[in-house]
Amino acid sequence: MPFRRQRKLDSLVTRLQAQYGPRAIHRDPPPRAPAPIPHVSTTFPALDAALGIGGLPRGRISEISGRVTSGKLTLAAKILSAAQREPDALVAWLDLGRTCDPDYLYRCGVDLERLLVVRPEDSADALTILLHLVESNTLALLVFDSLSDLRQGDESRLAGALERLATIVTQTQTAVIFLSDPGIQFRTLAHLATVRLELRFERWIELGPDVRGYEGQVKIVKHKLGRAGAEVLIRIAFNGTVSGYGL
């Protein structure tokens, strides 16, 4: 803009602001780059890229669903290990099904010293403990294993807890992941989850007579902070430790 016109405009703006107040007319600040969304990497670069924000969001609810042997527990374990990359990060595994295998989590890279395993008596206790732990805002990640272990008739209790959780979790830096089975649908969770991933077993990776791992297809069913619908192939190898593709 020419200097004289710029000066006339500045003078007009000053007069208007003097007459009607500074908020009557003002300039927009220069556009800034969008702030990164706090997240926890899934440790699978292709999946992180497909999610758009670099992983699963912190301060939000996510859901990983898949049938038995689809790899959802392994994916959750790898995300736990990624959450522990921060020096002081504590993580928790809410083991409703009492199937938590620390040895397997260790082989997935989880530091057991910074892993709290919660074994509640029943689903009502589990949901109460979940709310309290998230409210304390001390955990980087909490995995709820799993919704399929909830008792019959606990849907309404879960719905109430989830609604409260959705309010609480946004005030924290905790990523909450629910593991579930696609055969059992929880409508409240489907509604409140920010990210929903669905895992499907694809094939075993074989080398001669040995099974060296497996491939799974991850579909981003829902993503409130990015693009949904993408499908990503992840590879999980067995070699004493459990490593993801690209690690």
Partner 1 sequence: MGFNQQIAYLWVPYFGAAVARQVDPALDGRPLALIDDQGRVLAADARAAGAGVAAGMAERAAALRCPPAALLPAARYPIWEAQEAFWARIKRYADRWQPDGLGCVYLDITRMNGDLLGWCQAVALAVRELGWQPALGTTGSKFGASVAGQVAGGNAALLMMPVTQRTFLATQPVGTLPLDVDALTQLSHLGIRTLGQFARLPPAGVLARFGAPGRTAQRWAQGLDDRPVVPPWEAPEVSARAEFDSPLADRERLLAILGRHAERLLVPLRERFQVISRVALSVTRADGRVVPAGYTFALPAAAPGPVRFALATALDRVTWDGQPASEITLTLAGITDLPGRQLTLFDLNPDSRARLQATLDQLAARFGPDAFRFASLTDPDNPLPERRVSWRTYNV
Q: Residues interacting with partner 1, by CB under 8 A?
A: 88, 90, 101-104, 106, 111-121, 125, 128-129, 132-133, 135-139
Which CB sits closer to partner 1, 111 or 181? Answer: 111
Nearest distance in Å: CB 115, partner 1: 7
Where b means 16+ CB within 10 Å and e means fewer, 105-132 reads: bbbbbbeeebbeebebeebeebbebbbe
Which CB sits closer to partner 1, 118 or 166? Answer: 118
Which CB sits closer to partner 1, 117 or 190? Answer: 117
Nearest distance in Å: CB 135, partner 1: 8
Nearest distance in Å: CB 212, partner 1: 19
Which CB sits closer to partner 1, 126 or 193? Answer: 126
Nearest distance in Å: CB 165, partner 1: 15
Which CB sits closer to partner 1, 63 or 145? Answer: 145
**Strand 231-239 to 241-244 pairing:** antiparallel
Q: In the chain, how many H helices and how many E strands?
A: 7, 11
Nearest distance in Å: CB 128, partner 1: 8
Closest alpha carbon to 139 in 101, 189, 84 = 84
Nearest distance in Å: CB 66, partner 1: 22
Which residues are paired to 128 by β-bridges? none
What residues contact 206, with CB distance under 8 A and at least 6 apart? Answer: 212
Q: What is the rounded distance in angstroms from the CA atom of residue 247 to the CA atom of residue 242?
A: 10
Which CB sits closer to partner 1, 128 or 185? Answer: 128
Backbone φ/ψ region at 142: left (φ over 0), alpha (ψ -120 to 50), beta: beta
Which residues are paired to 210 by β-bridges? 207
Residue 224 corresponds to which amino acid?
A: K
